[in-house]
Structure 1
Amino acid sequence: MNVFTTPSRIVVTCNKRLAPYLESEIRELGFKPTRVFATGVELRGTVNDCIRLNLQLRCASQVHYSLKEFTADNPEHVYRNIHSFPWEKLLDEKGYFSVTSNVDHPTVNNSLFINVKVKDAVVDRMRKQTGERPDSGPLADRVVIHLYWRDNKAELFLDTSGETLAKHGYRKIPGKAPMLEALAAATIMATRWDRRSAFVNPMCGSSTLAIEALLLATNRRPGLYRSNYSFMHVKGFDEAFYANEYRRMEDQVKEVPGLQVIATDISEDAIHVSRVNAGIAGVEKMISFRVCDFELTDVPEGGGVVYFNPEYGERLGEVTALEATYARVGDFLKKKCKGYTGYIFTGNLDLAKKIGLRASRRIEFYTAKLDCRLLEYELYEGSKRSKEPVVRSKEGDV
């Protein structure tokens, strides 16, 4: 079986609550998902299709290509089924591979144990067929094999990504409490931004949001910033096919004349980090950076989106101090952002009440630790509805 040209089940995983945005991306690429679930999207395709998905997707974590489905009641069943797979057709006997797993079975209480079982089965098969064995270990920078096993149903995957796709590769200096790139992209996709009007990001931190906004607007894909994937280390990898997909991705980049992206932060260090990351992404000259308090952020005429990602506060003293900050954010939106759509991403809805505006939408997201919301505020010009930019919402106050 040539996995690069043989269709099979593909499961593209993502972080919690990103699946709708991932599905939209996959459909825009011309694929037809067969199932969407809480943390991923399923479709059919080849490993060559996986190459395109790896290069193009913003919201994904891993792209898994199914190699084999089987039933297993215990670890020995897993070993025998994996040992029977023709690994010599996929792996270089002098190469390297790693194993990951997602296991929920009463016979296994330690995922490391089953990972070793999978590794042993692969190594024993390779030694039997070739007289040699590849090295193995924890690094995900070459071939990655993934086992999914729940109840008595097991499935063996080639993880064509390796290192997670959720990190887009340009952020060499993360900054303080950075938002994951895949999450940042999804939240921007959830806004009403037309990708032509202004995008204003006060409290920008390391500027992940401002950078991702520009990558979306100019159609720069994450694959531009990464040069290594698991699929590159599988036997049969066609470098010419990959090069053609890479050129296609480069050709998609477009200019957006007049686009204004503004990122400000009170921290000089944050703006320095932002410039470095934006430079690696190739968009530094497209962002107007400024060191200042957020209230001094320039908001261009003509409307657009203003997006805050303030701190949430984890301890009582921090929350109390942040109440005044959230109130000031609300005042800034009311006074300086009329004609814009405002967004605040927060993991603390009690703090969000201090903003003093009603949200037109509350969009659910999730970080590694917190249940979060992207709150949307329509900030009307003049007295369209009232003297204050208040929006009616079935959900009431935030």
Structure 2
Amino acid sequence: MNIYTTPGAVTITCHKRNALYLEQEIKELGFEQTETFVTGVRLKATVNECIRLNLNLRCASQVLYSLQSFEAGNADDVYNNIHQYPWEDILPDGGYFSITSNVSNESINNSMYANLRVKDAIIDRIREKTGKRPSTGAALTGAVIHLFWKDEHAEIFVDTSGDSLARHGYRAISGPAQMLESLAAATIYASRWDRVSPFVNVMCGSGTVAIEAAMIATNRRPGLFITNYAFMHLKGYDIQVYQQEDARLEEQIKEIPGLRIIATDHSAKAIESARKNAIAAGVGKLIEFAVCDFTATKVPPGVPGVFYVNPEYDERANEIMVLEETYSRIGDFMKQKCGGYFGYVFTGNLELAKKIGLKAKRRIEFYSSTIDCRLLEYELYSGTRTEPKVTETPPTTA
């Protein structure tokens, strides 16, 4: 079987609660999902099509191409089934590969043992068939094989991604408590932003949200910045297929005349980091940066747009009163300065959010790491009721 041209079952994983937005992306790329679940989407695709998915998806983590499903009660069953697979047709002679896994089986109390049995089965098979022993390690810099094993059902995949796609590869400088790029993109997809009207991001930190907004508006994809994928290290990889998909990334970038993305922060150091990250992402000239308290941010008047803020939400006792005041000031600013906009507050603290003093029109569920978060949407009227233009109906939320 030629995995590059034979459609197979593909599972695209994502962080919890991002699946609706991942599904939206997949449809925009011309694919149809067969199933959407809490942490991903399933569809049919070839590995060559997985190359396109890897280069274009913003909300995904891994693109996994299924090789084999089997029943396994214990680690020996895993070894025996995987040993029978023709790995000499998948992995290059003398190549390097890594094992990752998602294991929930009562016979296993350490997933690393399952990884070891998978590694042994592959090495033993290749050595028997070719007389050569591939090298292995933890770094996801070569081919990656993924084991999913729950109860007695097991499935083995080629992970075509390698390092997580959730990190988009342009960050030159990191900041404290920064939002993951895939999460930032998902929250923008969840908003009512039309990708043309002003996008105002206060308390921008290292700039992730503003940069993702600029990239989404101009159709710049993460594949522009990521140079190593696991599919590049599989036997039979055709670099011309990758080069064709890579060239499309440049061709599909579009200019948006008059686009205004505004990002402010009280920290000069944060703004300097955000500028450098924006330049690395190719959108440095598209974002208007300023050092100021968020209340001094100049919101373009008379046009519908989006106001977005991701304030701190840590409940440490010595900071709670300061945070309460900050949330209250956010509410006042939206009421006084953002008429005609939709306001969005991303927070993991709904008690603090009450201090905003406005009724949220929607409460969209997300996770940031393990923290249960909400993207709160506020419709901010200005005289007569004016709504921002909407290009897509956001998914129904809880």
TM-score (norm 1): 0.95
Counterpart of 1:61 in 2: which secondary structure? strand
| Structure 1 equivalent of residue 345 of structure 2 | 344
| Structure 1 equivalent of residue 92 of structure 2 | 92
Q: CA RMSD in A?
A: 1.0
| Structure 1 equivalent of residue 125 of structure 2 | 125
**CA deviation map 1:336-386 (0-9, x unaligned):** 11111100000001101101111111111111121100001111112659x
**CA deviation map 1:269-314 (0-9, x unaligned):** 1001101100100001111001110000010121200100000013
Q: Distance in 2 between the 1:39 and 1:384 partners?
A: 37
Spell out the pairing of 1:227-306 with structure 2 (5 A cutoff): 227-301=227-301, 302-306=303-307
Tell me whether 1:309 sits opposite 2:290 in the alignment.
no
Tell me whether 1:15 sits opposite 2:10 in the alignment.
no
Q: Distance in 2 between the 1:31 and 1:139 partners?
A: 31
**CA deviation map 1:240-278 (0-9, x unaligned):** 111111111211100000000000000011001101100
| Structure 2 equivalent of residue 148 of structure 1 | 148
What amino acid does structure 1 have at the position aligned with 2:263?
A
Q: CA deviation at 1:63?
A: 0.2
Tell me whether 1:181 sits opposite 2:189 in the alignment.
no
| Structure 1 equivalent of residue 212 of structure 2 | 212
Tell me whether 1:327 sits opposite 2:334 in the alignment.
no
Q: CA deviation at 1:316?
A: 2.1
Counterpart of 1:248 in 2: which secondary structure? helix
In structure 1, list runs of 5 or more residues that go unmatched.
386-398
Q: Distance in 1 between the 2:6 and 2:384 partners?
A: 61
Q: Distance in 2 between the 1:327 and 1:234 partners?
A: 54
Q: Distance in 2 between the 1:298 and 1:40 partners?
A: 39
Spell out the pairing of 1:45-194 with structure 2 (5 A cutoff): 45-194=45-194
What amino acid does structure 2 have at the position aligned with 1:142?
G
In structure 2, list runs of 5 or more residues that go unmatched.
387-398
What amino acid does structure 2 have at the position aligned with 1:37?
F
Q: CA deviation at 1:335?
A: 0.7
Q: CA deviation at 1:320?
A: 2.1
Q: Distance in 2 between the 1:145 and 1:118 partners?
A: 9
Q: Distance in 2 between the 1:81 and 1:335 partners?
A: 65
Tell me whether 1:199 sits opposite 2:195 in the alignment.
no
Q: CA deviation at 1:92?
A: 1.6
Is the contact between residue 340 and residue 385 of structure 2 (CA under 8 Å) also seen in structure 1?
no
What amino acid does structure 2 have at the position aligned with 1:337?
C
Q: Distance in 2 between the 1:132 and 1:172 partners?
A: 40
Q: Distance in 2 between the 1:255 and 1:192 partners?
A: 20
Q: Distance in 2 between the 1:258 and 1:141 partners?
A: 41
Counterpart of 1:317 in 2: which secondary structure? coil
What amino acid does structure 2 have at the position aligned with 1:359?
A
In structure 2, relative to structure 1, the CA distance for the partners of 1:123 and 1:384 (3 Å cut) is closer
What amino acid does structure 2 have at the position aligned with 1:324?
E
| Structure 1 equivalent of residue 30 of structure 2 | 30
Q: Distance in 2 between the 1:36 and 1:83 partners?
A: 31
| Structure 2 equivalent of residue 368 of structure 1 | 369
Q: Distance in 2 between the 1:369 and 1:294 partners?
A: 28
What amino acid does structure 1 have at the position aligned with 2:381?
Y
Is the contact between residue 126 and residue 133 of structure 2 (CA under 8 Å) also seen in structure 1?
yes
How many residue pairs match? The answer is 385
Q: Distance in 1 between the 2:32 and 2:377 partners?
A: 30
Q: Distance in 2 between the 1:142 and 1:319 partners?
A: 46
Is the contact between residue 58 and residue 222 of structure 2 (CA under 8 Å) also seen in structure 1?
yes
What amino acid does structure 2 have at the position aligned with 1:204?
C
Using the aligned pairs only, state the percent identity: 61
| Structure 1 equivalent of residue 224 of structure 2 | 224
Q: Distance in 2 between the 1:19 and 1:34 partners?
A: 13
Q: CA deviation at 1:172?
A: 2.4
| Structure 2 equivalent of residue 378 of structure 1 | 379
Counterpart of 2:157 in 1: which secondary structure? strand
Q: Distance in 2 between the 1:89 and 1:150 partners?
A: 27
Q: Distance in 2 between the 1:363 and 1:150 partners?
A: 30
Tell me whether 1:6 sits opposite 2:9 in the alignment.
no
What amino acid does structure 1 have at the position aligned with 2:368?
T
| Structure 2 equivalent of residue 41 of structure 1 | 41
What amino acid does structure 2 have at the position aligned with 1:347?
G
What amino acid does structure 1 have at the position aligned with 2:313?
Y
Counterpart of 1:316 in 2: which secondary structure? coil
Counterpart of 2:273 in 1: which secondary structure? helix
What amino acid does structure 2 have at the position aligned with 1:214?
A
Q: CA deviation at 1:319?
A: 2.0
Counterpart of 1:78 in 2: which secondary structure? helix
Which runs of at least 4 in structure 1 moved beyond 6 Å after TM superposition? none
Q: CA deviation at 1:7?
A: 1.1
